[in-house]
């Protein structure tokens, strides 16, 4: 959350001449409802199953894509292995410090249903820190790990240098 996956993904896709797809938006389009509504009406288990299904669909589409997954995507089922073992696929962990993530997320708390109820810096830090700790093992399996504490352009340059 707030690492810059979508912003950097759009820029990277443009540079590579690929199409950009945000997995959450793709799911919303296919399911014809928001992620928040899916969670509320059908539960997280249903969402995670659909997330896996649509991730697999995108990875097998034979399209040249840059896909921004949700922060939890690599942590469920065998999604990280699915990503890494798909042909012509490179996984990238856009890694930022807890301090950087909290600073970025604080500006858009109301836009993010998972954290809209968190009112203080301490609550936000605790929530993001907990998720980062739980997910770090999965994130660190990525083919590339890039520092996202700087400007997005610097992170993008780092990705390009590591890819080529």
3-state secondary structure of 54: helix
> In total, how many domains does the chain have?
1
Mean pLDDT rounded to a whole number for the chain: 92
- 89 within a domain of the structure (yes/no): yes
- 83 within a domain of the structure (yes/no): yes
Q: Which string of b and e fits 33-47 if b means at least 16 CB within 10 Å?
A: eebeebeeeeeeeeb
* Structure confidence by residue, pLDDT tens digits, 62-98: 899 999 999 999 999 999 999 999 988 999 999 999 9
- 100 within a domain of the structure (yes/no): no
pTM for the full predicted model: 0.90
With bands split at pLDDT 50, 70 and 90, how would you rate the model's confidence at 111?
A: low
- Residue 110: the pLDDT is 61
- 40 within a domain of the structure (yes/no): yes
- 116 within a domain of the structure (yes/no): no
Residue whose C-alpha is closest to residue 150's, from 94, 83, 89, 82: 94
Query: Given a cut of 90, is residue 2 above it in pLDDT?
Result: no
- 73 within a domain of the structure (yes/no): yes
- 130 within a domain of the structure (yes/no): no
- 106 within a domain of the structure (yes/no): no
In CATH, what number is assigned to the domain containing residue 67?
Answer: 3.40.50.300
Distance separating alpha carbons of residues 163 and 137, to the nearest angstrom: 22
CA angle, corner 31, sides to 86 and 28, nearest 5?
75
Domain that holds residue 14: 5-95+143-163
């Amino acid at each position: 959350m707030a690492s810059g996956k979508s912003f950097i993904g759009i820029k990277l896709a443009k540079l590579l001449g690929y199409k950009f797809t945000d997995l959450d938006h793709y799911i919303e389009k296919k399911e014809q409802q928001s992620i928040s509504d899916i969670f509320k009406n059908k539960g997280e288990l249903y969402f995670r199953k659909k997330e896996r299904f649509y991730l697999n669909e995108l990875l097998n589409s034979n399209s040249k894509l840059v896909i921004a997954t949700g922060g939890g995507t690599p942590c469920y089922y065998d999604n990280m292995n699915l990503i890494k073992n798909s042909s012509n696929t490179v996984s990238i962990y856009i890694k930022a410090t807890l301090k950087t993530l909290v600073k970025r997320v604080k500006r858009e708390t109301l836009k993010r249903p998972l954290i809209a109820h968190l009112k203080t810096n301490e609550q936000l830090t605790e929530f993001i820190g907990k998720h980062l700790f739980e997910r770090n093992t999965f994130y660190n399996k990525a083919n590339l790990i890039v520092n996202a504490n700087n400007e997005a352009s610097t992170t993008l340059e780092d990705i390009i240098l590591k890819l080529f």
